[in-house]
């Protein structure tokens, strides 16, 4: 059997690129079109894009996925395995920066246990006096996130992003219309992704949430070309887990008077105290309260 990486899943086929000495083979090796063995279906398991697998070649030049190797991570939306890094793309302008949505993405990323990089796009649309991107950068860096400001059109920050993606499997997610395809084209000239999110290489029109593909960079990195978390809800997250997804709460939550403190109204809550002291940003706390309420409402409905 051979070892490979699933780089695309489409219509029941898995496209596997070969690995040699546990390293991805860049360049000209074509992906082998494979079917998965029936035993996976019986076990209720599906191969995912990003899976390292053992596969065998069949007589017709195609292949069969025989074994899925252990995963380091698994995302449900988008369905992709072994992701190292989540790149959250949010534009400074057109559309305007939506911090509520950014924080919702960060909750999901924290819950998935992934590293996150926040990439602020379209800096070219702001004038010299506009410091909103720098302000957001400082705000999230204080919490402990990595933040990059970019302009694909002017080449600002593009190399910095590319260097960060080297040798890793990354997933791009964020607001629609933020310039994801423009940035991917800037990272890999000749990629031929239309900026309307249509992939000319695939010739299959607009992406659907079922179609995920890994785009290969020339520095050993792979980017999951996917709509990302197209619909964010909290069905996979327990309400008691929410506060742990706000990383700045942790040192204060440990000192709350009551175990299992919701950080909403309990006396002796150190998180609320930290918000009042300005140690925790009020806007982030307001988003926490909003998410908590949303999750409670959903729980009642289901």
178 is in an annotated binding site: yes
209 is in an annotated binding site: no
245 is in an annotated binding site: no
179 is in an annotated binding site: yes
16 is in an annotated binding site: no
Residue with tokens 């990323």: 109
21 is in an annotated binding site: no
Structure tokens at 26: 């860049």
181 is in an annotated binding site: yes
Going by the DSSP 8-state scheme, the letter that residue 30 receives in this structure is P
279-301: string of b/e by CB count within 10 Å (b at 16+)? ebbeebbebbeebbeebeeeeee
268 is in an annotated binding site: no
| 78 vs 229: CA distance, rounded Å | 6
Give the ranges where 144-187 is alpha helix by DSSP (H).
158-165, 180-187
Residue with tokens 């949010």: 90
Environment class of residue 124 by beta-carbon count within 10 Å: exposed (0-12), middle (13-18) or buried (19+)? middle
269 is in an annotated binding site: yes
Residue 146's beta-bridge partner residues?
A: 117
Beta-strand pair 115-121/74-75: unpaired
Residue 49's beta-bridge partner residues?
A: 80
Main-chain dihedrals φ then ψ at residue 270, nearest 5 degrees: -75, -25
| 164 vs 172: CA distance, rounded Å | 13
176 is in an annotated binding site: yes
| 272 vs 281: CA distance, rounded Å | 11
263 is in an annotated binding site: yes
For the annotated binding site for GTP, the residues are: 121-124, 174-182
Which parts are annotated binding residues?
121-124, 174-182, 256, 261, 263, 269
Binding site membership for Zn(2+): which residues? 256, 261, 263, 269
């Amino acid at each position: 059997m051979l070892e490979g990486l699933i780089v695309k899943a489409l219509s029941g086929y898995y496209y596997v690129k070969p690995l040699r000495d546990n390293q991805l083979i860049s360049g000209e090796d074509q992906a082998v079109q494979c079917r998965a063995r029936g035993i996976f279906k019986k076990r209720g398991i599906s191969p995912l894009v990003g899976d390292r697998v053992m596969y065998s070649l069949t007589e017709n030049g195609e292949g069969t996925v025989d074994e899925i190797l252990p995963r380091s991570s698994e995302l449900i939306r988008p369905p992709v395995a072994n992701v190292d890094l989540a790149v959250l793309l949010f534009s400074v302008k057109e559309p305007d920066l939506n911090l509520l949505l950014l924080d919702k993405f960060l909750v999901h990323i924290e819950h998935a246990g992934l590293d996150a990089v926040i990439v602020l796009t379209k800096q070219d649309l702001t004038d010299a006096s506009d410091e909103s991107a720098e302000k957001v950068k400082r705000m999230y860096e204080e919490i402990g996130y990595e933040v990059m400001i970019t302009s694909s059109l002017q080449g600002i920050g593009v190399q910095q992003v590319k260097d960060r993606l080297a040798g890793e499997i990354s997933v791009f997610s964020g607001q629609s219309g933020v310039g994801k395809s423009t940035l991917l084209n800037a990272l890999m000239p000749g990629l031929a992704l239309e900026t309307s999110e249509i992939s000319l290489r695939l010739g299959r029109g607009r992406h659907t949430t079922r179609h995920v593909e890994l785009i290969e960079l020339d520095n050993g990195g792979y980017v999951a070309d996917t709509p990302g978390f197209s619909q964010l809800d909290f069905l996979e997250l327990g309400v008691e887990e929410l506060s742990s997804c706000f990383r700045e709460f942790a040192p204060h939550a440990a000192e709350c008077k009551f175990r299992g403190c919701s950080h909403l109204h309990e006396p002796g809550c150190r998180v609320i105290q930290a918000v009042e002291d300005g140690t925790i940003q009020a806007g982030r706390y307001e988003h926490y309260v909003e998410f908590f309420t949303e999750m409670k409402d959903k729980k009642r409905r289901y």
